[in-house]
Amino acid sequence: MSSSALETEIQRRLWERDPERYLADCLKIRDKHGKIVPLEANAHQRKVLDEYKRQRERGIPVRIAILKPRQTGNSTVSQGLIYHQNRFHPADAKVVAHDADTTELLFRMAHRFYDNSPSYEQLPTEAYHRKGLVFAPPHGGSITIATAGTKTVGRGSTPLYLHCSETAHYQDAKIVMASLLNAVPKTAESLVIVETTANGMGGYFWTLWHKAKAGQSEFVPIFLSWKDFPEYSLRVPHPEGFEASLSGYERALRAKHNLTLEQLNWRRSTIQTELNGDEDLFKQEYPLDDIEAFLTSGRARFDRPLVMEWPIEDPLRGHLQLEDRYGSEILTFIPNREGYLSIFRKPQPGRKYVIGSDVAEGIEIDGAPTDNRYDKSSGDVIDRHTGEQVAHLHGHFEPDEFGRQLALLGRYYNNAFQGV
């Protein structure tokens, strides 16, 4: 082997072990000014790369869920990792976007990676078309790009690598994602990245995110706040005057999130010049935490700032059990981490409670995982004195059993008034 060939081989082995280096050395992107530049990781992209490396080093299937603000390059770094994986460990990869425009952007990105990589890295292709890239043997592998517009987008393929972009905005997200995720093998080589901006409380991604946060999922959650993105700051020519002009809300934000004057200046400028003065829209597009992201991106019926001030607590999980003890019926709460009853406040003597509940139809959801195929019945206990939710009953029940559980719940909460 010649010295130049040896150097190239050494370089490739370094690239295989260090995807961040490969992205910077071999892949090109179009920046915000329209220039073709190297894909050098920014602060947000580096967080994703670090988590990818951590899971790879542990030898486990890589599963990453990203909740992001706008325009910090998370789709780009996800695409870069898909391309890197396919380069060094050839297999089928699938990229799914929420609409046709984003599909087109991701398609162009993949082709730009290929077209602008070093000539010795441009592996022969068998197909180079609007659906992606298919590499020719002996390398093999492919990158297919599709739109999540049909329920069958994940059927008929077994990708080893999967990138789902703007998942919270998919139509029929639960069905589409069940189809896609069930197609990916759970091997150590596999890679799944799900990244999105928020789209209100509830829905597929909201559930996935909170399960990941609670450690009840194979996915690792990464929240990316605009305040941790250095580019989102703007020089303040006259700091003293700017500080004096801060509103009460801006001062509260500064104290709570340790924001600099430059960050507050960027925030103020973005709201005024790009969002037509709409602060709620800014919170939706550039959230400071995941609570703000989900709350402000939905169609709220209540005052959002007031709702965000309410504390969020981890409930006790378990179930109610009626026992016969020495001729008397005793109702007790049995702790169980997998229980269908969540208790935030235990019943207090003399307090009055009400329960509102919704009986599920038991409809089977086509394409959903086997353990979550049917919709669930739900009941909520409210303290009549404060309006606070104190308990939540949620699970798969036959109608008769759900009625029995509601009876136990009402009895437990001082014979609560019920509306079913």
- Per-residue pLDDT of 399-418, as tens digits, reads 889 999 999 999 999 999 99
Long-range contacts of 369-374 (CB under 8 A, 24+ apart): 369/178, 369/182
Residue 367: predicted pLDDT: 47
Please check the confidence at residue 268 and state whether its pLDDT lies above 80. Answer: yes
User: Residue 363 corresponds to which amino acid?
Assistant: I
- Per-residue pLDDT of 55-84, as tens digits, reads 999 999 999 999 999 899 999 999 999 999
**Can the peptide bond before residue 138 be classed as cis, meaning omega within 30 degrees of 0?**
yes
Residue 228: predicted pLDDT: 96
**pLDDT level of residue 314 (50, 70, 90 thresholds):** confident
CATH top class, domain 23-224: alpha beta
Task: Enter the pTM of the model.
Answer: 0.74
DSSP assignment of 11-77 equals HHHHHHH-HHHHHHHH-EEE-TTS-EEE----HHHHHHHHHHHHHHHHTS-EEEEEE--SSSSHHHH
Residue 251: predicted pLDDT: 95
CB atoms within 10 A of CB 32: 7
Query: Percentage of the chain with pLDDT > 70?
Result: 90
**pLDDT level of residue 202 (50, 70, 90 thresholds):** confident
Residue 368: predicted pLDDT: 47
Q: Which of 334, 341, 339, 322 is nearest to 393 (CA)?
A: 341
Residue 298: predicted pLDDT: 59
**Residue ranges per domain, the chain?**
23-224, 228-309, 316-419
Lowest mean pLDDT across 163-167, 315-319, 374-378: 374-378
Could you tell me which CATH number the domain at 316-419 has?
A: 3.30.420.240
**pLDDT level of residue 375 (50, 70, 90 thresholds):** confident
Residue 3: predicted pLDDT: 64
Please check the confidence at residue 354 and state whether its pLDDT lies above 90. Answer: yes
- Per-residue pLDDT of 15-57, as tens digits, reads 999 999 999 999 999 998 899 999 999 999 999 999 999 999 9
Residue 154: predicted pLDDT: 62
Taking residues 115-126, what's their average pLDDT?
A: 91
Please check the confidence at residue 116 and state whether its pLDDT lies above 50. Answer: yes
**Residue pair 345/360 in contact by the 8 Å Cβ criterion:** no
**pLDDT level of residue 392 (50, 70, 90 thresholds):** very high
**Residue pair 178/367 in contact by the 8 Å Cβ criterion:** yes
